[in-house]
Structure 1
């Protein structure tokens, strides 16, 4: 059996969050941060896909992602 590959470096995420917030980070906070990030990316791509289809594009373009980024960020602001 092959060793399981990690999705992201947990220690690095914890260090970055701790450095930016000047607070200690609980044991599983990095997992919640990663999951929230994945939900954000999923929503961003869904909105960009809808926008690109409405404008008649075949693929999602950078401009369609840029146009929906601010609205998606507002949805995820806590």
Structure 2
């Protein structure tokens, strides 16, 4: 597992630079990726709760759509 990359750092840096016209500091891309992963974890947990409340057996697109706005609001800075 040593040396295995979790995500393409250069791609994340290019995307952020394209949207903001700014360079990133050395480890800013790592923080962006971690924040993204926390957001996805929160989104899926809330969607699972919503699906269970709706009587669904698994998480569906509908349950994700219902909780997306609330999850995004939690991650706005």
- TM-score, structure 2 length as denominator? 0.92
1:37 and 1:25 mapped to 2: Cα distance?
16
**Runs of 5+ unmatched residues, structure 2:** none
Q: State whether structure 2 residue 64 is matched by structure 1 residue 65.
A: yes
The correspondence of residues 1-78 of structure 1 with structure 2, limited to 5 A, is: 4-78=3-77
Counterpart of 1:8 in 2: which secondary structure?
coil
CA RMSD of aligned residues (A): 1.2
- Deviations, residues 58-77 of structure 1 (Å, cap 9, x unaligned): 11111000110011011111
Shift of the alpha carbon at 1:5? 2.3
Q: Normalising by structure 1, what TM-score? A: 0.91
Gaps of 5+ in 1: none
Aligned length: 77
* Of 33-42 and 18-27, the range deviating more from structure 2: 18-27
How far residue 55 of structure 1 moved from its aligned partner, in angstroms, is 1.0
